[in-house]
A and B are shown apart, each in its own frame.
Chain A
Amino acid sequence: MSRLDFQSSNAYLDTQMIRTSTLKKLRDIVGGEHYFDSPEQKLVYSYDATPLYEQLPEAIVSPQSVEQISKILQLANSEAFAVVPRGSGSGLSGGSIPVEDCIVLLTNHWDRILEIDERNLTVTVEPGIITGQLQTEMEKIGYLYPPDPGSSSICTIGGNVAENAGGIRGLKYGVTKDYVMGFEFVLPSGEVMMIGGKNVKDVSGYNLKDLLIGSEGTLGVFTKIVLRLIPKPEHSSTLLAYFDRASDSAEAVSAITASKITAAALEFLDNTTIRCVEDYARIGLPTTIEALLLIELDGRRGEVEQDLVQVSEICRRHRASQLRIAKSAAEATQLRTARKAAFAALARVKPTTILEDATVPRSEVAPMLEQINAIASKHDLMFGNFGHAGDGNLHPTCLTNEHDKDEIHRTELAFHEIYSAALRLGGTITGEHGIGLSKRKFLEHAASRTHLELMRSVKAIFDPNMVLNPGKIFTTRPRCEGPLPISKEKLNKYLELGAYC
């Protein structure tokens, strides 16, 4: 079943499957003003930032306490409906898109910083705080929270932990999991639990913390998160290197890595992306070059200055046609912001933008880029390429039109081939966006049967009734108990999926 089929059969299927009495109980738990089920409210929680998927929830709740979340999940178990947690809805794999017979559980209004512990270098936050706001607040007092996803201006920490978000500083500083020290969360059964805390070292039993991080909202709802901070680097510098040939830029990346300099960010943009970003941000990028590298260096002042000289030299040696160094912190921020807008800026060209995140070991970036270009031209598709070249996490982005069935079909074939290519080069099908809905079936190709079975078993232990974000990461087996789906459309869909009830 292609992704488009999925969408057209699913969209706007607004039939009430959750019993009215159940909805009333939900309403009683959170209170009337925090419960929504108007058509308008359902509509605006039917999507996140993922292209092609949408599904109406049956109700939306905005819980006000941990106890309420716990009660909601207990109710979900006893009355058989699904719960999909949602922060800001900026995910790119469909993690917060509703599933059938579900309610949406909002956490974006839980946005406080609860405690800053300067003796332990930790900050404790609620899950709905916006990553960028947390970063700004921490930088004001001399700390850095390094994970910096492209959507940092809107994404929430809760969502970042659930998706184990990466971002542009992954190369030097790692990803979200490297900064999560512990959290309080609600299990699918409704029990509340704390894992980890402020200990730098903690080996008490299985590392369940890392199991929950990146679980895409399928194993628990985070309610309080303890994050690690690092002192803010004394100095940073931003450099842009323009290349007339994309292959030169890829070689420059390898050379920088080989020179033992670890850049805070090492970002690649191809010509299509550069043109779109420039059209949006007007920051004076030349639109004729084939590629550019955005390189951020940070650390002690002397060290940064020395590295900057060396990196500039490497770029020149690899035929960079021009180098531009940001003159002020404001200019550096402007460049980074423009880079972060790359994905959405690409939407200027065509109505549908499908962004993926095939990732390869750093050494394979150049061959991977070549393969992407070959696959794009083979299927006659328009691609914009950008990504975190420094850590091998690329973002091949297909510029297409969801109403052109043939083109969408070709897009899908192309992504299949891209993933296969990534796997052949020792890579993975997703570096930072997660599997969610959009990569479920690619996961079936990428992961072994044992691997999948093991993950399914883990899910079953945590959530035997499949109430928390079911159907994400892998398809759950169709339910074979309980009443048959009432609507004919739904029944047909189940049959189509191979269900035998």
Chain B
Amino acid sequence: MLPANVSGEYSRVINIQSLQALSHPTNELEKLCIHCGLCLPTCPTYCLTKSERSSPRGRLKLIRNSREHGNSYTKEFVAEMYFCLECLACESACPAGVPFGSYMESARAAIAEKKVLPLVTRILRSAMLKWSFKTRPRLVFISRVLRFVATSSKIKVFEPFRRAASKLGLPIRLVGLIPDGRIESVSSMRQIQPATSTGSKKLRVGFVTGCVMDISYSEVNVDTVELLRRFGCEVITPENQWCCGSVHAHQGEMVYARDMAADLMEKFEVDKLDVIVANAAGCSGFLKKYAALFQQNDPSRDKAMAFAGKVLDVVELLDALTRERYDLSLTIEYQNKRVTFDDPCHLIHAQKVRHAPRNVLRSIQKLDFVELPESDWCCGSAGIYNITHHAESMQLLDRKIRHIQSIGADIVITSNPGCMIQLKHGLAEHGLRTDVLHIVTYLRRALAA
């Protein structure tokens, strides 16, 4: 059973969609865009280029045209579809409620289907999405190799690779920041034993450990389990879970995404859980949309709906768990550290969760919390965007770092592994000593017992 106050912000998303469904029985939802232009100032790529083509309004127009005239999958169209960060700031800004993300995903799916990308790109993308993200050992292998090449500056043999990568604009130093998976990963643990005595209200929480988080920040997963147990939850982490499929879906590989989703749902005994939680905003946002992956008549659809109905991002669960707690205080070490929160796009825009992380942080006594200007702007990480569009990604990152600098924060808190890697990279490049922590890590370390 969900605590009644948990679903507050999430329910809003559902309301909007049901409202549209009522008044638009046709499938022509993109007609909802009345091209008023209010999305333009919130779009990072429009602000970078001042080009209508690279605005949400322009992209919707292009997508609509490509649907009406099937032959328009030109190079320029494809480039534009992948130039979009899919940060969904436009969805938050849109008074008409146009579901931009769905259109972008369907356009990318059509591009994947039409095989219009150059062969080399397709092979690389397939290798990345279909091979390395297929199983955990493969992703571990790839990331270790990349990390080794990137960081072992003493080994001369790799020098040509590093130089070639830099020339191609590949963020080789950024790859070096991916931490090595040294800590034993949570998903390889057996089911964690229920917590015994902490707290009175006991929730059974199923924990989706994710793929990138599991490999690059497995300590965040450990922190998540420990923190939720401290708040009196019983945490269940099914064995051998793997990627939820969001990486594939965002690149338009819907069939793969659906297979990944089916595999993951297999692992969870949904009826025995109160909440299913993920600590990467990209995952939780996608898990909530699982039902949309399956056709109306697909028997798995009901299962996906039941599953998705229980999904919460970890900050939403923490918001519920800390709501009536007035005893949260900081350890001495963290008492004089100014913190701020940088909203992951997949939390604030895709899931419309704006208040939850702030509520959690504000519930801590004497915390020096400062709002980050433009905290709802994308940092440029955006999945693999910092690799595919390195220059633009770094421009957005600079903008973000300048804001972090302006408020003098000691710790930037966020809740998505991609954002963490990106922010760490930016802060290091600017020579700043500001720390980047996932919200669960921060809470686990900073909260006095």
Give a binary string over B29-40; 1 marks a CB under 8 Å from any A CB, 0 the rest.
001101111101
Q: In this assembly, does B20 line the interface, its C-beta being within 8 Å of a C-beta of chain A?
A: yes
Q: Is the CB of A47 within 8 A of B19?
A: no
Q: In this assembly, does B324 line the interface, its C-beta being within 8 Å of a C-beta of chain A?
A: no
Q: Is the CB of B34 within 8 A of A51?
A: yes
6 pairs of A and B residues whose beta carbons are closest in the complex: A344-B95, A347-B96, A341-B95, A44-B58, A345-B95, A90-B37
Q: A279-B15, A345-B96 are in contact. List 15 more A-B contacts (CB 8 A).
A: A38-B74, A40-B53, A44-B53, A88-B40, A89-B37, A153-B41, A154-B40, A279-B97, A280-B97, A282-B12, A344-B36, A347-B32, A349-B23, A350-B23, A351-B24
Give a binary string over A15-52; 1 marks a CB under 8 Å from any B CB, 0 the rest.
00000000000000000000000111101111111010
- In angstroms, how far is the closest chain A Cβ from the Cβ of B412? 22
Q: In this assembly, does A348 line the interface, its C-beta being within 8 Å of a C-beta of chain B?
A: yes
Q: In this assembly, does A151 line the interface, its C-beta being within 8 Å of a C-beta of chain B?
A: yes
Residue contacts A-B, CB under 8 angstroms, 28 given: A39-B74, A40-B74, A40-B76, A44-B52, A44-B53, A44-B57, A48-B35, A49-B36, A89-B37, A108-B50, A128-B50, A130-B41, A151-B36, A151-B38, A153-B38, A153-B41, A154-B37, A154-B40, A280-B97, A343-B36, A344-B96, A345-B96, A347-B36, A347-B96, A348-B23, A348-B96, A351-B24, A353-B34
Q: In this assembly, does A236 line the interface, its C-beta being within 8 Å of a C-beta of chain B?
A: no
Report the separation of the CA atoms of residues A40 and B95 in the bound assembly, to the nearest whole angstrom: 26
Q: Which residues of B contact A387 (CB under 8 A)?
A: none
Q: Is the CB of A43 within 8 A of B61?
A: yes
Q: Is the CB of B52 within 8 A of A89?
A: yes
Q: Is the CB of B16 within 8 A of A279?
A: yes
Q: Is the CB of A348 within 8 A of B34?
A: no
A residues whose Cβ falls under 8 Å from a Cβ of B: 38-41, 43-49, 51, 88-90, 108-109, 111, 128, 130, 132, 151, 153-155, 276-277, 279-282, 341-345, 347-353
Q: Which residues of A contact B61 (CB under 8 A)?
A: 43-44, 46-47
Q: In this assembly, does B94 line the interface, its C-beta being within 8 Å of a C-beta of chain A?
A: yes
- In angstroms, how far is the closest chain A Cβ from the Cβ of B72? 7
Q: Which residues of B contact A88 (CB under 8 A)?
A: 37, 40
Q: Is the CB of A344 within 8 A of B38?
A: yes
Q: Which residues of A contact B38 (CB under 8 A)?
A: 151, 153-154, 341, 344
- The closest CB in chain A to the CB of B60 belongs to A44
Which of B20, B41, B72, B76 meets A348, CB within 8 Å?
B20
Q: Which residues of B contact A90 (CB under 8 A)?
A: 36-37
Q: Is the CB of B62 within 8 A of A40?
A: yes
Which of A46, A109, A347 meets B95, CB within 8 Å?
A347
Most chain A CB atoms below 10 A, which of B38, B50, B58: B38
Within 8 A of A (CB), among B223-280: none
- In angstroms, how far is the closest chain A Cβ from the Cβ of B104? 15
Report the separation of the CA atoms of residues A353 and B95 in the bound assembly, to the nearest whole angstrom: 12
Q: Which residues of B contact A352 (CB under 8 A)?
A: 31, 34
Q: In this assembly, does B80 line the interface, its C-beta being within 8 Å of a C-beta of chain A?
A: yes
**A41-B53, A47-B61 known; A132+B41 contact, CB < 8 A:** yes
Q: Which residues of A contact B77 (CB under 8 A)?
A: 40
- In angstroms, how far is the closest chain A Cβ from the Cβ of B29? 9
Q: Which residues of B contact A281 (CB under 8 A)?
A: 95
- In angstroms, how far is the closest chain B Cβ from the Cβ of A160? 14
